[in-house]
């Protein structure tokens, strides 16, 4: 099947800065794809390359099999939801949503009808007469979504669309976006620096660092089987284990990762475990997060609330199932 978006050795350099550096990427049609990474990692530049705001310095970009380098944004059947929403302040909500249809020359009655339907889709029916300045942040974001969707794009790009919303609203919008995507079947490409958001919403996640893709996979892959120390560290706060340590348990001298919830804490002294000291314990409701010091190695563990714990500074013993220890590709 032709990928919805395909990058072949794509680079975008700004002078000496390699914002995007030889990236290969395939996004399948109809999937919810997340680009995850810290700021400055190149994820937003990748999004802008798909939208057409940036042109690659090298490499090939195809959208549904059609070459896109050198094609201006207005000739791509791709729409964007901007981080700051970028609603037009001089137009009311209905005309904002109908803008894409207006510039395509669709008549007033027809485009207003379509815009009204799109507003219903994002649960803002009847808001058409208002001005952008009269809406809340969450409502503006829905208008931005409707304005993009009304054009029936082949790919919808979302640039940190939830970044400006407060926590509660963000969680609601996550569910809504996910179900919208399922219903419409449009390919969504979503840029975020929030790993929880990426893991919970996406079908596939690409983790970016320094203009390169570190790993692409399902959220489960990324979380449980990180390939590099960066991914293990950035996604899900896994414990990164040095090669010497890993060798003792697996026999291979490789970097390893161990998820915090895989560690069990035993209070009494036993010789088959790993002895450590409790540095601090943070109560998180359903679980308690422990910071541990195992002979100079800092580890984190998550235990169910109610587990009986020693005092801070006291010695304890850690155990974990050996097959929970994940060996990373990164060489020692």
Partner 1 sequence: MRSDHGQIAPLGLKIAASFGLLFLHAPILLIFVYAFTTEEKSYQWPPPGLTAQWFAVTWNRPDVWEALSLSVRVAAISTAVALVLGTLCAAAVSRSKFFGRETISLLVILPIALPGIITGIALRSAFALTDIPFSFWTIVLGHATFCVVVVYNNAVARFRRTSGSMIEASMDLGADGVQTFRYVVLPNIATALLAGGMLAFALSFDEVIVTTFTAGQQQTLPIWMLEELIRPRQRPVTNVVAMVVVLVTLLPILFAYYLTRDGDQIAGSGK
Partner 2 sequence: MSVSTVSQYSAAPAILPAASGMRGVLSDAFWRRPKLLLLLMLLPPVLWLGIIYIGSLFALLLQSFFSIDEFSGLINREFTLKTYGDLFQAANLDIILRTVTMAATVTLASAVIAFPIAYYAARYARGRWKALFYLAVMLPLWSSYLVKIYAWKLILAKEGILTWLFAKLNLLWLLDAWLSLPVVGGNSLSVSFTGTFIVFVYVWLPFMILPMQAALERVPGNLIEASADLGASPGQTFRNVLLPLALPGIVAGSIFTFSLTLGDYIIPQVIGTSRLFIGQAVYTQQGTAGNIPLAAAFAVVPIVIMGLYLWMAKRMGAFDAL
147 binds, among partner 1, partner 2, none (CB under 5 to 8 A by kind): partner 1
Closest distance to partner 2 from the beta carbon of 121 (Å): 5
> DSSP secondary structure string, 193-248?
S-HHHHHHH-SEEEEEETTEEEEEE-HHHHHHS-SSHHHHHHSTTPEEE-HHHHHH
**How many angstroms separate the CA atoms of 257 and 281, rounded?**
21
Q: Of residues 25, 144, 150, 201, which one binds partner 2 by CB under 8 A?
A: 150
How many other C-beta atoms lie within 10 A of the C-beta of residue 285?
A: 6
Residue 102 contacts which entry, partner 1, partner 2, none (Cβ below 5-8 A, type-dependent): partner 1
Residue 329's alpha-carbon distances to 24, 101, 311, 314, in angstroms, are 19, 49, 37, 35
Contact between 154 and partner 2 by CB under 8 A: the answer reads: yes
- Rule CB under 8 A: which residues touch partner 1? 51-53, 72-74, 78-80, 82-84, 86-90, 99-100, 102-104, 147-148, 151
d(CA 252, CA 331): 11
Residue 50: strand, helix, or coil: helix
Comparison of 147 and 227: residue with beta carbon closer to partner 2: 147
Pair 189, 157: CB distance under 8 Å: yes
Our CB check for partner 2 shows the closer of 25 and 155 to be: 155
Interaction partner, residue 43 (partner 1, partner 2, none; CB < 5-8 Å by kind): none
Contact string (CB under 8 A) for partner 2, positions 165-194, x = contact: ------------------xxxx--------
Would you say the C-alpha torsion 58, 64, 65, 71 has a positive or negative sign?
Answer: negative
Residue number, 23 or 148, with CB nearest to partner 1: 148
Instruction: Please report how close the Cβ of residue 250 comes to partner 2 at its closest, in angstroms.
Output: 47
* Minimum distance from residue 28 beta carbon to partner 2 (Å): 14
Quote the least distance from Cβ 101 to partner 2, whole Å: 11
**Residue 171 near which of partner 1, partner 2, none (CB within 5-8 Å, type-dependent):** none
Binding of partner 2 by 47 (CB under 8 A): no
Which partner from the list partner 1, partner 2, none does 80 bind, CB cut-off 5 to 8 Å by kind? partner 1
| Contact code string over 64-83 relative to partner 2, x by CB under 8 A | xxxxx-xxx-xxxxx-----
Residue 45 DSSP label? H
Q: By CB under 8 A, is residue 304 in contact with partner 2?
A: no
Residue 43 or 76 with smaller CB distance to partner 2? 76
Q: Would you list the DSSP string of 175-202?
A: HHHHHHHHHH--EEEEEES-HHHHHHH-
Residue 164: phi and psi, rounded to 5, are -90, 0
Distance of CA 322 to the CA centre of its chain: 30
Residue for token digits 């990236």?
Answer: 23
Residues engaged in binding partner 2 (CB under 8 A): 63-68, 70-72, 74-78, 114, 117-118, 120-121, 149-150, 152, 154-155, 183-186
């Amino acid at each position: 099947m032709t990928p919805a978006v395909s990058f072949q050795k794509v680079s975008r350099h700004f002078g000496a800065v390699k914002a995007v550096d030889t990236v290969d990427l395939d996004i399948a049609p109809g999937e919810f794809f997340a680009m995850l990474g810290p700021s400055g990692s190149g994820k937003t530049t990748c999004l802008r390359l798909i939208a057409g705001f940036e042109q690659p310095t090298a490499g090939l970009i195809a959208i549904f099999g059609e070459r896109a380098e050198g094609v201006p944004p207005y000739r791509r059947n791709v729409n964007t939801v901007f981080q700051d929403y970028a609603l037009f302040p001089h137009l009311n909500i209905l005309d904002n949503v109908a803008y894409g249809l207006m510039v395509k020359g669709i008549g007033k009655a027809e485009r207003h009808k379509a815009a009204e339907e799109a507003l219903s889709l994002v649960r803002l029916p009847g808001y058409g007469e208002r001005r952008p300045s009269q809406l809340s942040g969450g409502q503006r974001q829905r208008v931005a979504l409707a304005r993009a969707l009304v054009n029936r794009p082949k790919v919808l790009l979302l640039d940190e669309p939830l970044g400006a919303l407060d926590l509660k609203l963000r969680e609601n919008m996550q569910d809504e976006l996910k179900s919208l995507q399922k219903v419409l079947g449009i390919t969504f490409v979503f840029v975020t620096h929030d790993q929880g958001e990426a893991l919970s919403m996406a079908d596939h996640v690409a983790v970016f660092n320094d203009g390169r893709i570190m790993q692409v996979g399902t959220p489960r892959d990324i979380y449980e089987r990180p390939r590099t120390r960066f991914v293990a560290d950035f996604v899900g706060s896994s414990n990164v284990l040095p090669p010497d340590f890993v060798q003792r348990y697996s026999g291979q001298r490789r970097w390893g990762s161990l998820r915090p919830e895989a560690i069990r804490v035993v209070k009494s002294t036993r010789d088959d475990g790993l002895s450590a000291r409790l540095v601090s314990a943070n109560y998180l409701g359903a679980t308690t997060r422990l910071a541990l010091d195992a002979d100079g190695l800092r580890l984190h563990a998550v235990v169910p609330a109610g587990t009986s714990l020693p005092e801070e500074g006291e010695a304890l013993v850690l155990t974990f199932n050996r097959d929970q220890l994940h060996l990373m590709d990164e060489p020692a």
